[in-house]
A and B are shown apart, each in its own frame.
Chain A
Amino acid sequence: MQTTSLLARKREREVRKVSAVFLIPALLIIAVFIIYPIVDSFRTSLFDWNGITAGKKFIAMNNWKELISDDTFWKAFRNNIIVMVLSIVIQMPIGMAIATFLDRVGKKGTIFKVLWFLPMLMSSVAIGYLFKYALDTNTGLVSTISRMLGGKNIDLLGNPKTALLTITVVICWQFIPFYMVYFMAAYSSLPADVYEAAIIDGATRGQYFWRVALPMMKPSIKSAIILSMVGSLKYFDLIYVMTGGGPGDASELMATYMYSNAFESYRMGYASAIASGMFIVITVISLVTMKLINGKEEV
């Protein structure tokens, strides 16, 4: 009896040792490429530095003070929140609807599955250019259709009121396929007997969806929301390609503002303060949301 428990303990100790060894490469990579840059960004944010010269000037919290009173940063933050809310509100339901449709039609829907997944396979830059031409005020698709219907040219990207919303729609176009696949995976993990039991008990398909499938997929939906949230808060690509944050700062996001400070204005110190600010903001929002979502479940 005692020998077996001794053996078990020894075995356990060895497993622990081995697992530590296996974890070292991953830990090293995380330390070098994630933890070190984060710490270094915070450190750099205390300096006035153009990113080129050897001499950095220590200016303590000046960059942070500037950040807090910087209207453009808060405008960018508001824009990020807009993108975040719209992304969740638009992408989740449509992704879920498409996934439900595909789940129901089964094999017959393969062609749709492939077609709808296509946007996900394209690079963001290609999508950006594609839509830039499609939305061109004078020669683009949207304006041409509007003229055919007797309307005027439509300027979406050059109008500060519509630029951000337009790009958000393109972002949704790009990412709905991702959530489609995500929710399809969630569907396939639902046991088939639950469906059969529900139908035998006389549930309609609608009732099955709202009362059975949706609650059972709650964990997947939650993590999808968190994913979409974090993704929107650090979003960069399409804005950079399509408007560069303009006109003025109408479609500026935190990440594009950071980029233009670091690599266009050469204010590496201030850009690091923006990056660190983003890190704090995103972490806080994610933690709070996770608490809120998980808290509800317990009640």
Chain B
Amino acid sequence: MKRKLLKALAVVLAGTMALSVPVYAKDEKTKLTLWHIQTGTMASCLENSAQRFMEQNPEYEVEVIQMQNDSYKQKLSMAMSAGETPDIYIHWGGSSMIDYVEAGQCADLTEFMEKDNYKDQFVDAGIEQCTYNDKIYAVPVENISVAGIFYNKDVFEKYGLEEPKTLAELEALCDKLVEEGVAPFALANATKWTGSMYYQYFATRKGGLEPFKNAAAGTGSFEDEAFTYAGEKIQEWVDKGYFNEGYNGMDDDSGQARQLFYTGQAAMDLMGSWFPGTVIGENPDFIEKVGFFPFPELEGSDADQSLCVGTVGDNLYSISENCEDKEGAFKLIQSLLDEEAQKERKSFGKIVPLKNYEAEDELTQEILDTVNAATGIQLWYDQYLPSEVAEVHKSTSQEIFGNLKTPEEANKEMQKAMQDYLAK
């Protein structure tokens, strides 16, 4: 008797549970987490996009988490190793994207991107950057950023200087500035990637994209003449005093180079095209004095001289392989680039990697023209290379700047690091 009662009770209980589960699930919204590294007003642009997305798709609950740039990679890798990868996260492409894909942390988005030819809206170089093994793993969202030379128009005017077209012209201009007691370039190289830009441009002007691509793949070498040229040129410029004093001890993140640029103690700054945005944030009145020209051409070189160093997309948004609702997550990424968001991004001086982008001010247009004229983009070395080799590149380039190593020694070390990595 008692047993029967128990059985009946069990059946009833199981029944209520079965009934209650779907009801419960319906009430619960699908939660999506998004990690980004935007700050200030740009962060609120992402918040707004997420808000709009939730209004249009009430079945989702989006948590937008703002991370700090400096420690972002570390935090992301910790989250990944703990199995708590955010549904949507940003990265910079290159070897870290490959790492994430190989680690099974990055979902294949090709199908979503090809639906309604969505991917055709993007600048080709941007899609190229998100592609690995013919599959698209990310969406380029934030910004086209290429390095170029920003200069203080007042200083140029004062000494009667004009934007140089060739490296020889640039060097003549620098010599004049040195004579006048103005540092030609503002450089804060404790940060390392700042000086690395010079190295990248010299190597690209000398040898084009091939030497680096081959060296990174193991079919070429970092002891190629393009890299030797880059190192030697840097040391030549150092000896001629083209950089402000104390550059290897100064930190770009805390604005020590821009300080010299603003005060006119230095005339130019080779920097990524996020530079105007930084200036607007720090010193809004100064932006009118900022001019731009692409890194000059090297005469007599066989390489394509239109190439740019930089990235198309900057922050690439990827979806975790563990995300439960990838389609929803992709929709959320799309909402980051809806019309409203495009307008907002534009107002902050960002160049979204979409083909329909039109610049409103002259400075942005000049940068955009440079990108459009470029037949190819050399992705930042430190983003392209696997992290351990990238670190070696950054520190050897700093040592070249400090005359602590000869270009040959530095490039040899670089080649060894690359080989060690590939041998694993």
Report A's interface with B, CB cutoff 8 A.
48, 50-54, 129, 132-133, 135-139, 153, 155-160, 163, 243-244, 246-250, 260-261, 263-267
Contacts and interface: CB of A to CB of B under 8 A. Distances in A.
Contacts of B256: 132-133, 136, 139
Looking at B99, B246, B424, which has the most chain A CB atoms within 10 Å of its CB? B246
Given A137-B246, A157-B249, A52 B265 contact: no
Contacts, number: 113
Given A54-B103, A137-B244, A263-B74, 10 more contacts: A51-B78, A53-B103, A138-B260, A138-B265, A243-B249, A247-B189, A247-B190, A248-B395, A265-B390, A266-B388
B402 A263 contact: no
A161 to B, nearest CB: 11
B402 A248 contact: yes
Contact of B246 (A157, A244, A263): A157
Given A52-B99, A246-B398, A248-B402, A267 B388 contact: yes
Given A51-B77, A249-B395, A263-B73, A138 B245 contact: yes
Looking at A51, A156, A244, A248, which has the most chain B CB atoms within 10 Å of its CB? A248
B423 to A, nearest CB: 11
A48 B395 contact: no
Given A52-B103, A263-B74, A247 B399 contact: yes
Given A129-B254, A132-B251, A136-B250, A153 B103 contact: no
Contacts of B402: 158, 160, 247-248
18 contacts: A50-B77, A52-B77, A53-B81, A133-B254, A137-B245, A137-B246, A137-B249, A139-B263, A153-B246, A155-B245, A156-B249, A158-B248, A160-B402, A244-B190, A247-B401, A248-B399, A265-B387, A266-B99
B80 A52 contact: yes
A156 B78 CA distance: 36
Give the contact-size bracket for chain B. 35 or more
A261 B417 CA distance: 13
Nearest to A249: B395
B249 A163 contact: yes
Contacts of B395: 246, 248-249
B388 A153 contact: no
A1 B73 CA distance: 72
Contact of A160 (B100, B247, B250, B404): B404
Interface in B220-257: 244-251, 254, 256
Contact of B192 (A138, A246, A263, A266): A246
A246 B190 contact: yes
Contacts of B404: 160, 247-248, 250
B391 interface: yes
B72 to A, nearest CB: 11
B259 interface: yes
A173 B213 CA distance: 48
B81 A52 contact: yes
A246 B248 contact: yes
B37 to A, nearest CB: 16
A133 B248 CA distance: 14
B105 interface: yes
A138 B391 CA distance: 28
Contacts of A50: 77, 99
A164 B74 CA distance: 26
Contacts of B251: 132
Given A52-B99, A248-B404, A136 B391 contact: no
Contacts of A265: 387-388, 390-391
A133 B399 CA distance: 23
A155 B99 contact: no
Contacts of A160: 402, 404
A158 B260 contact: no
B405 A248 contact: yes
B179 interface: no
B35 to A, nearest CB: 15
B245 A264 contact: no
A249 B402 CA distance: 11
B102 interface: yes
A-B CB proximity, top 10 nearest: A137-B246, A158-B249, A157-B249, A158-B248, A155-B246, A265-B388, A247-B248, A53-B103, A248-B399, A263-B74
B259 A139 contact: yes
Nearest to B396: A248
Interface string B395-424: 100110110110000000000000000001
A243 B263 CA distance: 24
Contacts of A260: 391
A246 B194 CA distance: 14
A146 to B, nearest CB: 12
A139 B257 CA distance: 10
